């Protein structure tokens, strides 16, 4: 699909089209500099954080010491669960930074059309099984190097759930329902492919962006880290790791604290009560529960299994697919890279596609 784009801007390693002159092309990545990106990323979670603290205080048990101890325990447990994956993601991002050149990535992607690239990205978790906490540094660096944005987002959505570790944990958590791990993998695969195609339609200026990025790398950065000596590469890698840690760890901590506030408040009990009172809304409420709990994809199956005797398996399947793709701490980290409007659109698409796919696939597998 050829769409003219008269203005292409690159800032902080990200390139984005100018929608005011590009025929209404929706901007996905943050087009402004890092200062604006971090300012927007700070204001929205800060407002939510203030509201949650106020909510916790006005609860009957809000000022009791036990509540604050629970908050600290949950907060530290979320950080201990997420930080190893974030460090691993930053390490892999640094390897990409020093070893992968934009020209090499362009030559690699030029051999495939978009749909095969989306399939390869959806299956990337088999090779790189990472939790969602470590995806943002990797995806950011791949986009900076010239990987098409739809392919990068497909990989970001797929890798935390479509990997052998998650499949194995789901098998162990549901020993009496062998179709659950299969349904989880197939549902996630179908959903991420649809998301990738939708993003490709939204990001119609991608060809102009990649050409501009490659042109800038060739003429403005002739001595890339990949061409340097080994010690220089290691220096570049350490510097890059420090930059990535500074840009992502703060938002992970912020997101983890907001998640912990939700978990120790009455939000979780309120969601479960809504499921009992409104069984028709179980998909949406379980996806909301997955968003609030922000569990690691390697352990969320055991939480879902604890609800297996009381709720429909289709709703549990939505819980298992939605959580690794979009949760609270992931949203805060995504604000450092993506536009707020796109994150809202992506969340809405997932909230629509996952219940439909879960219901249809479960009816097929259980028949």
**What band does 161 get if pLDDT is binned at 50, 70 and 90?**
very high
> What backbone phi and psi angles, to 5 degrees, belong to 81?
-75, -35
Dist. CA 94–CA 72, nearest whole Å: 32
- The half-sphere exposure of 320 on its side-chain side, counting CA atoms within 13 A, is 37
Higher pLDDT, 32 or 264: 264
**CA-wise closest residue to 334 among 191, 97, 137, 122:** 137
Give tens-digit pLDDT for 213-250: 444 444 444 445 445 566 676 776 676 677 767 666 76
Q: What's the rounded mean pLDDT across residues 339-358?
A: 94
Q: What's the rounded mean pLDDT across residues 21-49?
A: 54
Dist. CA 309–CA 299, nearest whole Å: 19
3-state SS class at 16: strand
Give tens-digit pLDDT for 284-320: 988 988 888 788 887 888 888 888 887 899 999 999 9
Query: Is 199 a residue whose pLDDT tops 90?
Result: yes
Show Cβ contacts of residue 42 under 8 Å, excluding neighbours closer than 6 positions: none
Going by the DSSP 8-state scheme, the letter that residue 134 receives in this structure is G
């Amino acid at each position: 699909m050829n769409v003219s784009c008269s203005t292409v801007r690159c800032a902080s390693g990200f390139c984005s089209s100018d929608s005011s002159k590009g025929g209404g092309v929706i901007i996905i990545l943050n087009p402004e500099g890092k200062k604006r990106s971090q300012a927007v990323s700070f204001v929205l979670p800060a407002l939510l954080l203030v509201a949650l603290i106020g909510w916790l205080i006005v609860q009957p048990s809000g000022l009791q010491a036990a509540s604050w101890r629970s908050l600290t325990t949950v907060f530290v447990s979320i950080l201990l669960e997420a930080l190893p994956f974030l460090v691993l993601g930053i390490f892999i991002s640094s390897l990409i930074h020093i070893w992968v050149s934009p020209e090499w990535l362009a030559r690699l992607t030029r051999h495939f059309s978009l749909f095969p690239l989306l399939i390869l990205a959806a299956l990337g978790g088999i090779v790189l099984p990472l939790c969602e906490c470590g995806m943002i540094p990797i995806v950011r660096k791949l986009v900076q190097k010239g990987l098409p944005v739809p392919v990068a987002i497909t990989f970001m959505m797929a890798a935390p759930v479509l990997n052998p570790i998650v499949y194995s944990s789901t098998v162990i958590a549901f020993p009496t329902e062998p179709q659950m791990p299969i349904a989880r993998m197939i549902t996630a695969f179908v959903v991420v492919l649809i998301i990738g195609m939708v993003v490709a339609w939204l990001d119609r200026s991608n060809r102009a962006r990649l050409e501009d990025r490659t042109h800038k790398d060739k003429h403005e950065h002739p001595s890339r880290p990949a061409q340097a000596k080994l010690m220089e590469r290691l220096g570049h890698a350490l510097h890059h790791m420090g930059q990535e840690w500074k840009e992502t760890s703060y938002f992970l901590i912020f997101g983890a604290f907001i998640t912990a506030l939700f978990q120790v408040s009455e939000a979780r009990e309120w969601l479960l009560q809504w499921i009992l009172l409104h069984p028709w809304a179980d998909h949406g409420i379980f996806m909301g529960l997955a968003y609030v709990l922000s569990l690691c994809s390697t352990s969320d199956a055991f939480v879902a299994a604890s609800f297996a005797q009381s709720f429909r398996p289709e709703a549990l399947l939505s819980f298992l697919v939605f959580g690794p793709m979009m949760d609270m701490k992931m949203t805060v980290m995504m604000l450092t890279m993506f536009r707020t409007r796109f994150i809202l659109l992506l969340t809405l698409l997932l909230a629509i596609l996952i219940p439909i796919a879960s219901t249809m696939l479960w009816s097929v597998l259980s028949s």
